[in-house]
């Protein structure tokens, strides 16, 4: 099967090398564009043994270069659906590290609000871990994986709830100590965008959702950082927590609206982007694995 697959080369077979479970060990190099077809045809092996995948950073091989040329499409355009499903499923789990990053990011944004600091806002945006759960919801909607959608949505809700609660408690203690008061919310124009949801906020969320999904499917981590900086989910959560501690209910409503608008926009654009990648971007493997 591997020999007949376009884009596959350097096939090595070690008969009887496996001990538990017993069997053969097979290695091969595959162009990224061919991965979906290979996974689709080897799916039955999951019950017989295992399939392990490694990313090759450098391959100095004429045969490998020919395999890449033989496989239709471009490597950066290929979406490896099995890899994407594994990644978004892992990032939709609630872990202590996830909650810690969320709480720290939200507290940084809350301090950024009080200090009128755009630098702290940007740092909080980069640190926020929420896009993994958003991407999981997009993938779940595309593939109709309702359990994944529920798990990812729960992860988002728990993450924001815990982070806002911790930031609220810290802000409340600061008010009791006399460190902050309602006048600290008299923010400058650069910070006011957090509590002014409008058409531009929604457009930015749509663009960020599309770019975020593209960066995840193409493995472009640098592009994903740009997505984090462009949306105001974590800053809005931090602002809401501080405003709640200071009793500024109108500000709480505005910041929560901004938060919801951003998440909805990213989910819509992310799902549509995955749909376009599935339907219209020619890649080997659509026939067998999608």
pLDDT at 115: 84
Residue 157 pLDDT greater than 90, yes or no: yes
Q: How far apart are the first and last CA of the chain?
A: 19
Q: CB under 8 Å to 238, separation ≥6 — which residues?
A: 105, 106, 107, 108, 109, 110, 111, 112, 113, 124, 167
5 backbone dihedrals φ, ψ, rounded to 5°: -80, 125
Question: pLDDT (tens digit, 9 = 90+) per residue, 164-222?
Answer: 999 999 999 999 988 888 877 775 566 677 777 788 888 988 998 898 888 888 766 66
Confidence of residue 79 (pLDDT cuts 50, 70, 90): confident
Percent of residues, the chain, with pLDDT higher than 70: 88
Residue 285 pLDDT greater than 70, yes or no: no
Cβ 188 vs Cβ 252: under 8 Å: no
pLDDT at 273: 92
Residue 105 pLDDT greater than 90, yes or no: yes
User: Longest Cα pair distance anywhere in the chain, in angstroms?
Assistant: 74
Question: pLDDT (tens digit, 9 = 90+) per residue, 260-284?
Answer: 999 999 999 999 999 988 887 654 4
Residue 242 pLDDT greater than 80, yes or no: yes
Single out the residue of 217, 241, 273, 274 nearest to residue 83, CA to CA. 217
Q: How far apart are CA 181 and CA 187, in angstroms?
A: 13
């Amino acid at each position: 099967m591997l020999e007949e697959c376009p884009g596959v080369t350097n096939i090595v077979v070690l008969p009887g090398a496996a001990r538990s479970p017993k069997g053969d060990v097979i290695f091969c190099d595959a162009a990224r564009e061919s991965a979906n077809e290979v996974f689709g045809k080897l799916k039955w092996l999951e019950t017989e043994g295992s399939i392990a995948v490694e990313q090759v950073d450098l391959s100095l091989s004429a045969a490998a270069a020919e395999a890449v040329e033989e496989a239709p499409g471009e490597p950066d355009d290929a979406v490896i659906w099995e890899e994407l499903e594994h990644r978004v499923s892992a990032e939709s789990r609630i872990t202590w590290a996830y909650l810690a990053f969320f709480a720290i990011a939200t507290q940084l944004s809350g301090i950024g609000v009080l200090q009128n600091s755009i630098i702290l806002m940007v740092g909080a945006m980069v640190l926020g871990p929420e896009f993994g759960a958003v991407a999981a919801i997009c993938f779940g909607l595309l593939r109709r994986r309702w359990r994944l959608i529920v798990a990812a949505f729960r992860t988002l809700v728990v993450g924001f709830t815990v982070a806002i609660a911790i930031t609220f408690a810290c802000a409340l203690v600061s008010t009791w100590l006399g460190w902050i008061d309602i006048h600290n919310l008299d923010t400058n124009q650069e910070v006011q965008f957090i509590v002014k949801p409008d058409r531009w906020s929604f457009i930015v969320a749509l663009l960020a959702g599309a770019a975020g999904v593209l960066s995840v499917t193409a493995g472009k981590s640098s592009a994903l950082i740009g997505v984090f900086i462009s949306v105001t989910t974590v800053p809005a959560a931090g602002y809401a927590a501080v405003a709640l501690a200071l009793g500024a209910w109108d500000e709480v409503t505005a910041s929560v609206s901004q938060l919801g608008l951003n998440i909805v926009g990213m989910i819509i654009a992310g799902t549509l982007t995955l749909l376009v990648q599935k339907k219209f971007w020619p890649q080997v493997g659509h026939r067998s694995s999608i």
